[in-house]
Amino acid sequence: MPLIAGSVTVAPDGAVTASGLAGQVYTRLEANSAFQGPPGVPMSVAAKRQLAGIANAVATLADYVKANAQISTTDSGGVPIAWAGTGSGTVA
């Protein structure tokens, strides 16, 4: 699966649209957030937007990781094979 930065937006009514890494980060932040109100009270739009800002900032690292990650594997003969930020390899 490719590493997609994605994004999170929060509409004035509080509806959240999320994709990619940003969406995954947002989901985890929201689920574990101290911004959660009492049971039955939805999270405020302002709080959702703060979490979205954090998630979007974290997701900008996706392009950095793709450009700079160095991954090495070893073939069946024990010889290291380097993959360095070419975008030509797939990380599973």
pLDDT surpassing 90 at residue 69 = no
Q: Specify the range with the lowest mean pLDDT, choosing from 8-12, 66-70, 86-90.
A: 86-90
The parent domain of residue 24 ranges over 8-84
Asked if residue 38 is part of any domain, the answer here is: yes
Domains in the chain, number: 1
Share of the chain above pLDDT 70, in %: 71
Asked if residue 90 is part of any domain, the answer here is: no
Looking at residue 50, what is its pLDDT? 94
Where are the extended beta strands (E) located within the chain?
A: 8-10, 16-18, 70-74, 80-84
Cα-atom radius of gyration of the chain, to the nearest Å? 18
Non-local (6+) Cβ contacts of 4 within 8 A are 19, 20, 21, 62
- pTM of the entire structure? 0.69
Asked if residue 57 is part of any domain, the answer here is: yes
Asked if residue 2 is part of any domain, the answer here is: no
Asked if residue 3 is part of any domain, the answer here is: no
Asked if residue 45 is part of any domain, the answer here is: yes
Highest mean pLDDT among 31-35, 47-51, 82-86: 47-51
Asked if residue 92 is part of any domain, the answer here is: no
Asked if residue 89 is part of any domain, the answer here is: no
